Structure 1
Amino acid sequence: MSAVEPQYRAHFDARVAFANGGGLSAEGFRIDLPHPEVDARDVGRLFVQHLGLALVGSVEITGLEIVEERHRGTRGVETAAPAPGRRVVDLSHVIREGLVTYPGLPAPVITPHLTREDSRGHYAEGTEFAMDIITMIGNTGTYLDSPWHRYAGGPDLAGLELASLVDLPAEVFHLTDLTTRGIPAEVLFDREVRGKAVLLHTGWDRLFGTPEYGVDAPFLTAEGVSYLVEQGAALVGIDSLNIDDVVPHGERPAHSGLLGAGIHVVEHLTNLGALPPSGARFTAAPPPVEGFGTFPVRAYATLP
């Protein structure tokens, strides 16, 4: 895979005065940059374009800082064209014996059914096979929740439409600098999400497999859930412990709201930072197991 070209963003404060009266101010605003060689006037123009402001009389930019940082999807700024040829980005954690995905749930156990040595007595000379048994809970590694996981009358893994799991247009929200654990609805407002896979990049996957992964993890707020249901998202994924806030005897508004609306949920994603805000296609298809609600997937994204 070819090296990724560096990308840059501007951090700044802004004060806008409108030509017909009134004004607008912003503190700690951030936008994508086409290149790092920009000044306050350039940033002011991008700021106005990104917000779609009309009748602007003046723009004052202060505290400007240019930072090397992945783009988030600023309007009017095109991300550099990728290298020719389709790229595939793996978004799944590796499953191995003893892996702890979710604290308190059993780890997978792998045992041989037929060893290579024993198989030699069943086949021609020089031919051997290994057959193994894996015992694991469906909530292992990177997995998908079907409505049946939450609702007895909902479709199970075998009842999911394959077209709703494969090659979905993805909107990736890079939220690693969010100052709250709960992801609010407002951070989703700037993108069209109808019929799309909404992928929430929190950066929490860096702790996967450690005790810290299960403590104070990011989650999607109830308001964020309601917004995605209203807007008709097709799938919601997160690179965190759970799409809900995990508290003893707590409510599960994300699982209840999303799965109740037929919106698939994928948890424990990884490597979302390698994806652009828009333009990727997302796939996460589990095996069609009847009477089962959750199972690991090989989640991945393709980039043109």
Structure 2
Amino acid sequence: MCSPEIVRLARDGAPRPSRRAVFGLAGLTALAAMTPAPAVAAPRSGVVDLTHTLTPQLPVWPGNPPMGMVPVAVHASGGFGQFALGYWEHTGTHLDAPAHRVAGAATTEALAVDDLVAPLVVIDISAKAATDADAVVTLADINDWRSRHGEIPDRAFVAMYSGWEQRLAAPSTFLNLDGNGKPHAPGFSGAAAEYLVAQCGIVGAGVDTLSLDCGIDPDYGAHTAFLGAGRYGVEMLANLAAVPPKGATVVVGAPKHAGGTGGPCRVLALT
């Protein structure tokens, strides 16, 4: 049921809702009935969408508010529709700029555009993640990938596929909080992240979970290694099972707001 404020905005087409209307519970209830859109199979066109549809029901990092959406213009009044959006930068499929971890580091608008189009490497750890929620990409996983597929291309974007998106049907299992409110989900080990930066020259890394680190890493080793070296990360990727381990190209539609530490982005794989 919509709050009175949302009903009034929709009826009157008011152009300037209050901050509370945009960012508060009113914005969340506008789409409360929606559920996360399931990942879709790869289309025949050779373009795979690696982006989850952003809705208020999509899981966010514990303590962060879900996105909010408030109608501020309607077709019946003025001929145009428009929503005011409210969300924290690190919501949905989103980019981590180096400044997210390192004070004074590169922000969203400073990212090199050449780094946003890159060879895509997918390292599949779904088998061990199925039985270990704290599984990580290790040096052994990287070496196993290389034994199967050859060298990691220069200036690649390396993504972890853990199969975690299958848990979105029950969002609490995607967050996977323990009794202390600590999330448990796969990520990169700090050692693997350091290796990919120092030895493979990657431009960025991605995961299909909410964090580059596994949930129990108290030191955020992967964040520190990737972002501390000036690379970017993309979290909560979708449909990685629909792209090959090697041979595709990733296109990251990164946000570009001044001083940003990250933001929702559209990510495509060209196969």
TM-score normalized by the length of structure 1: 0.65
Match of 2:14 in 1: none
Give the conservation status (yes or no) of the 8 Å contact 2:255–2:262. Answer: no
Give yes or no for the alignment of 1:178 onto 2:132.
Answer: no
Across the aligned residues of Structure 1 and Structure 2, the Cα RMSD in angstroms comes to: 2.0
Deviation of residue 143 (structure 1)? 0.4
Q: Which portions of structure 1, spanning 4 or more consecutive aligned residues, are displaced by more than 3 angstroms?
A: none
Give the conservation status (yes or no) of the 8 Å contact 1:184–1:224. Answer: yes
Match of 1:160 in 2: 111
Match of 1:206 in 2: 166
Match of 1:271 in 2: 239
Deviation of residue 286 (structure 1)? 1.7
Deviates more, 1:96-105 or 1:234-243: 96-105
Gaps in structure 2 of 5+ consecutive residues? 1-42, 177-183
Matches of 1:99 and 1:182, distance apart in 2: 23
Give the conservation status (yes or no) of the 8 Å contact 1:113–1:132. Answer: yes
Match of 1:23 in 2: none
Residue 295 of structure 1 is aligned with which of 254, 263, 266? 263
Match of 1:195 in 2: 155
Give yes or no for the alignment of 1:225 onto 2:187.
Answer: no
Match of 1:282 in 2: 250
Match of 1:65 in 2: none
Match of 1:239 in 2: 208
Matches of 1:217 and 1:98, distance apart in 2: 19
| Percent identical | 29
Q: Per-residue displacement from partner, 1:19-74 (whole Å, max 9, x unpaired)?
A: xxxxxxxxxxxxxxxxxxxxxxxxxxxxxxxxxxxxxxxxxxxxxxxxxxxxxxxx
Residue 130 of structure 1 aligns to a residue in which SS? strand
> Which one-letter code corresponds to 1:277 in the other structure?
P
Q: Structure 1 residues 138, 280: CA separation in 2 closer, same or farther (over 3 Å shift)?
A: same
**Greater helix percent: which structure?**
2
Match of 1:102 in 2: 61
Q: Structure 1 residues 130, 298: CA separation in 2 closer, same or farther (over 3 Å shift)?
A: same
Give the conservation status (yes or no) of the 8 Å contact 2:160–2:187. Answer: no
Deviates more, 1:189-198 or 1:231-240: 189-198
> Which one-letter code corresponds to 2:46 in the other structure?
R
Deviation of residue 86 (structure 1)? 5.0
Matches of 2:216 and 2:122, distance apart in 1: 27
TM-score normalized by the length of structure 2: 0.73
**Greater strand percent: which structure?**
1
Q: Per-residue displacement from partner, 1:226-258 (whole Å, max 9, x unpaired)?
A: 21111211111111121112249x211111110
Report how many residues are paired.
211
> Which one-letter code corresponds to 1:163 in the other structure?
D
Deviation of residue 273 (structure 1)? 0.4
Matches of 1:271 and 1:86, distance apart in 2: 15
Greater gyration radius: 1
Q: Per-residue displacement from partner, 1:154-173 (whole Å, max 9, x unpaired)?
A: 1111111111112x111111
Deviation of residue 139 (structure 1)? 1.2
Structure with more relative contact order (C-alpha pairs < 8 Å, separation 6 or more): 2
Q: Per-residue displacement from partner, 1:101-132 (whole Å, max 9, x unpaired)?
A: 2232101111122122221xxxxxxxx11121
